[in-house]
């Protein structure tokens, strides 16, 4: 009772700030007064500053996940907010992709895999240009706050267990060049807002459970070179406008294992690499026509293109 009445909140926070951030929150169970003192952003900032090295706070690049980075994903929200706020002004590249202990031994188990969900506070890193979090054990939704990363050029979230829809807010990332969301559990439709990404070079959505048709307007992605939709539950016809997307790198176009109409729409251009690439993946120009499929399977892409189309 004496502790609760007479010791100022500031003194409680000062004393407990010397306890390691990985264990300090267990003391919130002691009494209500201590719990109140330790569960705010001010205390979290004070505590983290005592244990974070100044070079870590001022770094422009995080080349791997540190012990504090791993804790970040499972801290309560006030600690997450404080941790990110300490890096907001400097951090440009975050590489938290799980890697083997020896980079030369790619078949070995991955080390320091991150668990938990993606914290919304990551959206506060306004100077961030590259974010890699692939091959971890992340689950839950992609927070819409990632759409606040105005400087972001690369977003790599592949090979996790992320679920729910693709946030339309990702369409606000006007500098984004690569979007890798493959090998997750994402569902729902492809948001048309992604078509606002005028600098997008790579769109990788394969191995999810995305459904519905490809929304009209995809030809607005005039910088796109690599496009992968395979192994989803997408339906409907291939958009007619895709016949005009002659800028795509067609050997990297992947559409298999979906529920698309296998007949290309009437009027789809047959003098481009897009037509050749789709026919090689099982699409047909009209019902019952398998001649192109059988022939193209026996050819290289370059040979098929010489026979079936020309670059404009």
CB neighbours of residue 114 within 10 Å: 20
Specify the pLDDT at position 256: 82
pLDDT(285) > 70: yes
Q: Which residues contact 170 (CB under 8 A, 6 or more apart)?
A: 142, 146, 147, 155, 176, 179, 191, 193, 194, 197
Nearest to 124 by CA among 162, 77, 161: 77
pLDDT(306) > 60: no
Question: What is the rounded distance in angstroms from the CA atom of residue 230 to the CA atom of residue 253?
Answer: 9
Question: What is the rounded distance in angstroms from the CA atom of residue 263 to the CA atom of residue 87?
Answer: 52
Specify the pLDDT at position 312: 36
Specify the pLDDT at position 274: 81
Residues 209-242 have pLDDT tens digits of 999 999 999 999 999 999 999 999 999 998 989 8
pTM over 0.85: yes
- Read off φ and ψ for residue 94, nearest 5 degrees: -120, 115
Residues 46-97 have pLDDT tens digits of 999 999 998 888 899 999 999 999 999 999 999 999 999 999 888 999 999 9
Nearest to 225 by CA among 191, 250, 207, 242: 250
- 184, 158 contact by CB (below 8 A): yes
- 185, 207 contact by CB (below 8 A): no
Furthest CA-CA distance within the chain = 89
Query: For the chain, where are the alpha helices, taking DSSP H only?
Result: 2-6, 9-16, 32-38, 41-51, 54-58, 67-72, 77-85, 273-280, 291-297, 301-308
- 243, 268 contact by CB (below 8 A): yes
**Mapping DSSP to helix (H, G, I), strand (E, B) and coil, where does residue 178 land?**
strand
Specify the pLDDT at position 311: 37
Question: What is the rounded distance in angstroms from the CA atom of residue 91 to the CA atom of residue 128?
Answer: 6
């Amino acid at each position: 009772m004496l502790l609760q009445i007479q010791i100022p909140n500031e003194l409680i926070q000062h004393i407990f700030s010397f306890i390691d951030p990985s264990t300090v929150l267990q003391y919130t169970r002691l009494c209500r007064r201590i719990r109140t003192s330790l569960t705010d952003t001010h205390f979290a900032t004070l505590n983290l500053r005592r244990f974070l090295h100044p070079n870590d706070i001022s770094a422009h690049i995080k080349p791997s996940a540190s012990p504090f980075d791993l804790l970040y994903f499972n801290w309560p929200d006030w600690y997450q907010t404080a941790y990110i706020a300490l890096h907001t002004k400097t951090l440009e590249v975050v590489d938290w992709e799980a890697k083997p202990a020896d980079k030369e031994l790619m078949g070995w188990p991955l080390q320091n895999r991150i668990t938990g969900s993606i914290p919304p506070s990551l959206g506060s890193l306004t100077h961030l240009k590259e974010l890699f979090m692939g091959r971890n054990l992340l689950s839950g939704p992609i927070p819409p706050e990632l759409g606040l990363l105005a400087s972001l050029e690369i977003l790599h979230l592949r090979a996790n267990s992320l679920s729910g829809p693709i946030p339309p807010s990702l369409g606000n990332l006007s500098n984004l060049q690569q979007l890798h969301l493959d090998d997750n559990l994402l569902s729902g439709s492809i948001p048309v807002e992604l078509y606002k990404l005028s600098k997008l070079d790579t769109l990788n959505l394969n191995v999810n459970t995305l459904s519905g048709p490809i929304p009209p307007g995809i030809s607005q992605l005039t910088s796109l070179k690599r496009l992968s939709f395979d192994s989803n539950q997408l339906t409907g016809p291939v958009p007619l406008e895709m016949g005009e997307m002659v800028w795509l790198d067609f050997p990297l176009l992947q559409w298999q294992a979906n529920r698309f109409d296998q007949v290309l729409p009437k009027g789809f251009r047959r003098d481009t690499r897009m037509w050749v690439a789709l026919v090689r993946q099982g699409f047909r120009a009209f019902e019952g026509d398998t001649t192109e499929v059988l022939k193209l399977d026996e050819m290289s892409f370059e040979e098929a293109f010489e026979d079936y189309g020309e670059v404009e």
